[in-house]
Structure 1
Amino acid sequence: MSEWSLRQWSLVGLGFCVLMMAVALVLEHVVGLEPCPLCVFQRVAVIAAGVVFAIAAMHGPEGRLAGAVYSIVAAIAVLAGAGLAMRHLWLQSLPADQVPSCGPGLDYMVDILPLSQVVSMVLTGSGECAEVGGRLLGLSLPGWTLIGFVVLLVVPIAMLTTLRRSSTGYRWNG
């Protein structure tokens, strides 16, 4: 693994994003769990990371600048998703009397509100995001999603490490 190219790491990241989305879609369409607005935003983060990994895999960057850009942009998408999952877990941990009231559905908000207001309302949270739809091994779905994001973060870190170790790649000071 330490000798993997940026393309190989990108394919691993893309594969993990596909796996995360496949699990989300099975839970929605087979199990019947409807995603709340924070779940949808976490999916967007997975898709964004997947797109970056797909572009990096197709491009197969050999240069230090391109590799660093792909790694950093993918890490930003993954960290954003992890932050959303943590926010979701926090909402689920609130006592019942402190849970925000349920707001309008995401589709409705997107249709009538500006995007900045939709993002603000979703991040503020709603009662539907605080509901725990089920647990597996003691963790709710946002907990498992957070673990997925932490595992996925290994890929951009490995990409940066590959750049550092590469004789033609970027050398970090220190």
Structure 2
Amino acid sequence: MHPARTRFLFCLAFIACATSVGAAVYLQFTYNLTPCLLCHVQRALLLACALICLAASVHGPTTLRTWHRYALALLVMALLGAGVAGAHIGSQTSSPEQLALAVTHVKEGFSLLALPAWGGILEHALLSCAEINWSLFGISLPEWSLLAFVGAILLALYLLLVEIPRKILPNDQTLV
């Protein structure tokens, strides 16, 4: 793996993730948009992706295994974020009946875990997540977050599937 190119890609990914979180915070305070529970989780996962990318670009490891670990960590965080963003988009695009059914399943699950108070808190949080407060070009904030996570997934897959085999092939002509 070419360290300079890989560090540059991680640096670009850090800038993209940090800009996404910064834009969400800017919109929150400028337009008084109150973030819901899933918005907070998405921001935390975007920050985790940003910190992984920052650590990889600043650290600049010399071994292939360490680059591989950074790419895997980015992939895991981005997949989690894409899942949360997908659930958020699903709650925004579902009908009220479907949303009510999902909320009752969540409440039942927490009552089975002997946490009935959490069920009520999550019911309010999930119902507030169904509102679309802001959009740009017809795309809501969770959809923009999903695009950012998909970009991070593509970067991690590129690093894992293209950059690492490119480095391995010239040395021993075999794929590992």
Tell me which residue corresponds to 1:7.
7
Contact 2:74 2:152 in 1 (8 A): no
Runs of 4+ deviating beyond 4 Å: 121-125, 167-172
- 1:34-70 Cα shifts (integer Å, max 9, x gaps): 1100000001110111111111112102311101100
Alignment of 1:38-117 (within 5 A): 38-100=38-100
1:173 counterpart (168, 172, 175): 175
Distance in 2, Cα, partners of 1:137 & 1:45 = 24
TM-score, normalising length: structure 1: 0.77
Tell me which residue corresponds to 1:107.
none
TM-score, normalising length: structure 2: 0.76
Contact 1:92 1:132 in 2 (8 A): yes
Structure number with larger C-alpha Rg? 2
Deviation at 1:96, TM superposition (A): 2.0
- 1:68-94 Cα shifts (integer Å, max 9, x gaps): 100000111011111100000111122
Tell me which residue corresponds to 1:135.
135
Gaps of 5+ in 1: 104-116
Gaps of 5+ in 2: 104-116
Structure with the higher fraction of residues in helix conformation = 2
Identity of aligned residues (%): 25
Contact 1:41 1:84 in 2 (8 A): yes
Distance in 2, Cα, partners of 1:64 & 1:18 = 26
Deviation at 1:158, TM superposition (A): 2.9
